[in-house]
Amino acid sequence: MSTATLSPNIPSTNPKVTVSQLNARLSQGERFQLIDVRSPQEYAEGHVPGAMNLPMDQAEARIDDLQRHDPVVLICQSGRRAGMTCELLKAHHDGLIVLEGGTKAWIDASLPVVKTASTRLPLMRQVQIGAGGMILTGTLLSLFAHPGWIGLAIFAGAGLFVAGTTGFCGMAILLEKMPWNRARS
């Protein structure tokens, strides 16, 4: 069966499968390799059962971790990073499928997830605290210390704008590398 036929009504250069289609096919015993391309922290906070974590930034270097005999379903939080990873890898592997809506759609469909996270704050909450703190600090310092401190608030606001419009968040990348966010062995 061609993987492109899993969801024919969705125009895309990448084959997609909906959560209900994937769940039904898994329930029927069809075999897929499930690859979660999110960060280890996001993966630990909740992932599709049976999914292996292969972060997007490691995907090309770990192409040999992908099976050749079963279709590979790429999963992220909403489908965007999985689509980007599919674009990166499709020259190396022809059985790639993107889970439409990602883990969020899986959870919204009330399907089970595996959680291995500790009590650490989710990465996006850390970003919100960091950016909000920078904006608040910059604004208060510009009012009470020196007007030049407004630049800190502008910098943080611009970072949030870029993250929201492009999906690239420099602060999240930095926070992900912090010792408290590293996966424990």
The answer as to whether 118 is a domain residue is no
pLDDT reading at 139 higher than 70? yes
The answer as to whether 114 is a domain residue is no
Q: Do 127 and 86 share a structural domain?
A: no
Q: Higher confidence at residue 119 or residue 3?
A: 119
Q: Write down which residue in 62, 80, 108 finishes a domain.
A: 108
Q: What is the domain count for the chain?
A: 2
Contact 7, 18 (CB under 8 A): yes
Q: Write down which residue in 61, 82, 108 finishes a domain.
A: 108
Q: Do 18 and 76 share a structural domain?
A: yes
- The pLDDT, as a whole number, for residue 22 is 97
- Quote the CA–CA distance of 176 and 185 in Å, as a whole number: 16
The answer as to whether 104 is a domain residue is yes
How many percent of the chain have pLDDT more than 70?
A: 90
The answer as to whether 116 is a domain residue is no
Q: Do 159 and 99 share a structural domain?
A: no
- The pLDDT, as a whole number, for residue 5 is 41
Angle between helical axes of 123-144 and 150-166 (0-180°, round to 10): 150
Q: Write down which residue in 108, 138, 159 finishes a domain.
A: 108
The answer as to whether 132 is a domain residue is yes
Q: Do 71 and 16 share a structural domain?
A: yes
- The pLDDT, as a whole number, for residue 17 is 96
Q: Do 58 and 82 share a structural domain?
A: yes
pLDDT digits (tens, 9 = 90+) for 26-36: 999 999 999 99
- Do the bridges between strand 33-36 and strand 16-17 make them parallel or antiparallel, or are there none, so unpaired? unpaired
- The pLDDT, as a whole number, for residue 184 is 58
- Quote the CA–CA distance of 142 and 134 in Å, as a whole number: 12
Nearest Cα to Cα of residue 37 among 23, 51, 17, 26: 51
The answer as to whether 113 is a domain residue is no
The owner of tokens 């949030």 is: 160
* Residue 45 structural domain: 3-108
Q: Do 165 and 96 share a structural domain?
A: no
The answer as to whether 40 is a domain residue is yes
CATH number at residue 52: 3.40.250.10
Catalytic residues: 76
The answer as to whether 152 is a domain residue is yes
